[in-house]
Structure 1
Amino acid sequence: MPDRNEKTLLVTGAAGHLGRRVVELLLAAGERRVIAGSRTPEALHELTGRGAEARKVDFDDAAGLDAALVGVDRLLIVSTDAVLEPGRRIAQHARAVAAAVRAGVRHVVYTSLTNPGPESPIGLAVDHRETEAALARSGLGFTILRNNIYAELLLQAGAGAVASGRLVHAAGDGAAGYVTREDCARAAAAALASADTGSQVLDVTGPEAVTQAQLAGLLAEVTGRPVQAVNVSPAQLREGMIGHGLPPALAEVLVSFDRAIAQGTLAVVSGAVEGLTGRRPTSVREFLAAHRSALVGA
């Protein structure tokens, strides 16, 4: 088994929040051969200053992907941001998987979604489902990290709920295993730096599943202001989002997450974060308390 410092690790999407944090964690852990990949490698000067190599990685450029993956042993594919372009992410991820096969990459880590099967009402679930299928067909070793909803997405809605006293949702009594982006990054860094060569699918979640009523209670507890959960229909939630200026396509994606919570497909809790990193994940209450200023508008 090669020493960890002999592996060359490549992280795609390194100019984004998750990818950048994964690179930072790998470098902090002493990994010496880390490549930060991005469509805009010129934006990675902070990471190269810390010891990472920057490469252009564009999932729309098959030939460029071949060049980007030369010498890479383990690859993290961070799902791209083309969430409002049906079919594009499927094609992008398929190119990345095919290029990994051609380059002789030993293992691929992929950031997926909790329960992305056909039963999921989430509009972008098909992107993850098809990418998982492409990895299964590829013959590569892989670790699929099915990330639950980012706790960070609670901040904007939470701030509005604290200001109005109403947490409007269409999730019914359903719950979600909200997980922080930091915990997702720590899990991804650990999976990428691992010596594991097999294939596995892991649910990456927080320590408990939280309903909207519980979330309203936590917001009230953390901020000291009254917050009530108000359940509406998906159509009403969508109309409200559009009325507040969201593009209809984005509103539909966000509402589909509430539909999934209501159906129970996101009520998943696992020990994957602690199993990969040795540290328990952050709870929703801990996360909200740490970001109280963002919730109260300080």
Structure 2
Amino acid sequence: MQARPRTVTLRAAAVLALALFLAAVAPSNAQTAASGEKIIVSGASGQLGELVVKELLARGVPAQNLILVSRTPEKLAEYAKLGAVTRFGDFEKPESLPAAYAGGTRMLLISISGGLGSRAQLHKNAIDAAIAAGVRHIAYTSFVALSRGDASGIGKDHHETEEILRNSGVAWTMLRNSIYSEVTIPQAAKFVADGRAVVPADEAKVGYVTRGDCAAAAAAVLATPGHENRIYDITGPELIGVREIAEAASAVTGKKIEVTTAAPGASPPQRFGPSLSVTSNHVEQLTGRPATSLRALYEANKSALLGST
């Protein structure tokens, strides 16, 4: 008998095997909750979007129930082979969105990056098109600073988008994500290399959260009932500053890092303000597991901390 040619890439084969295994062992309640829903993931080929897709598959959501929308749908070919629908959609081309969202009932609207002036209007393009297509529930990846009443900077666009969504008439969920923990890895690597770290005198600590935890929380909202018209603060388990970064990096690498405190006015301006000093248990509440600690993240990225590949 002639051997079948290998037409599936190794990556796609791995995704297929993972999806089949996880579908077999996923909780039946997750399958039941999503069985009648067609779930749209906007920005599905992006870093967060693809993690959400994998989390939905891990929860037992059938690939056939996923509508994956991206400006680069060709990057989603491996999920199309599993049975997911992949479509082109671009917030800047609103005429592309009705067809992109057709048949969807729930949607994850992943906030876009870009100029501060246009984001809320671009998000509105997506919200209007989704509602016109019959979407009944939209979850939006917002910004945790809003929970402290801070709508300045990038919070302005998120606040405006939240208001658009609240007034749209559709059921909504606000996933107010904190800053990704992954942004601290280069800083931690520098502390390891220098052997020292300086704590700013007026430091405001941040409830950093991993991108993976943001994805898991979003997937839970999409795949299970009871999240309509609710706000979740998606944060890590603790407030983190320079000292916590240095301690976790030292513990993981075994390298000594001397931590000192800068004199008032002697340190650089703060990167983040006090409105990001927020933690919650919402990741655990939604996913059933604690949010990822900084040390666990660093253990998974030890080579990066040591400056090796």
> Does the alignment reach a TM-score above 0.5?
yes
Counterparts of 1:220 and 1:236 in 2: how far apart (Å)?
Answer: 22
Task: Give TM-score scaled by structure 1 length.
Answer: 0.84
Q: CA deviation at 1:150?
A: 0.7
Once the two structures are overlaid, the 10-residue window that deviates more, 4-13 or 48-57, is: 48-57
Call closer, same or farther: CA 1:277–1:118 in 2, change over 3 Å.
Answer: closer
Report whether the alignment pairs 1:259 with 2:269: no
Q: Sequence identity of aligned pairs in percent?
A: 40
Question: SS of the counterpart of 1:173?
Answer: coil
Counterpart in 2 of 1:159?
Answer: 189
Counterpart in 2 of 1:226?
Answer: 256
The within-5 A match list for 1:204-215 is 204-215=234-245
Corresponding pairs, count: 274
Once the two structures are overlaid, the 10-residue window that deviates more, 118-127 or 202-211, is: 118-127
Call closer, same or farther: CA 1:113–1:233 in 2, change over 3 Å.
Answer: farther
Counterpart in 1 of 2:40?
Answer: 10
Q: Once superposed, what is the RMSD of the aligned Cα atoms?
A: 2.4
Q: CA deviation at 1:225?
A: 2.0
Unmatched tracts of structure 1, length 5 or more: 239-254
Task: Provide, for residues 117-162 of structure 1, a one-character-per-residue CA deviation record: whole Å limited to 9, x for no partner.
Answer: 7953862111111111111111111111111111111112221222
Question: Does the aligned pair in 2 maintain the 1:106–1:197 contact within 8 Å?
Answer: no
Counterparts of 1:226 and 1:21 in 2: how far apart (Å)?
Answer: 34
Counterpart in 1 of 2:106?
Answer: 74
Once the two structures are overlaid, the 10-residue window that deviates more, 143-152 or 108-117, is: 108-117
AA aligned opposite 1:42: E
Unmatched tracts of structure 2, length 5 or more: 1-31
Call closer, same or farther: CA 1:234–1:88 in 2, change over 3 Å.
Answer: farther
Once the two structures are overlaid, the 10-residue window that deviates more, 187-196 or 212-221, is: 212-221
Counterpart in 2 of 1:274?
Answer: 284
The within-5 A match list for 1:241-260 is 258-260=271-273
2:133 to 78, 85, 103: 103
1:141 to 168, 171, 186: 171
AA aligned opposite 1:22: V
Task: Give TM-score scaled by structure 2 length.
Answer: 0.81
Counterpart in 2 of 1:46?
Answer: 78
Question: Does the aligned pair in 1 maintain the 2:151–2:159 contact within 8 Å?
Answer: no
Q: CA deviation at 1:78?
A: 0.7
Counterparts of 1:235 and 1:60 in 2: how far apart (Å)?
Answer: 44
Question: Does the aligned pair in 2 maintain the 1:11–1:36 contact within 8 Å?
Answer: yes
Once the two structures are overlaid, the 10-residue window that deviates more, 100-109 or 222-231, is: 222-231
Call closer, same or farther: CA 1:199–1:280 in 2, change over 3 Å.
Answer: same
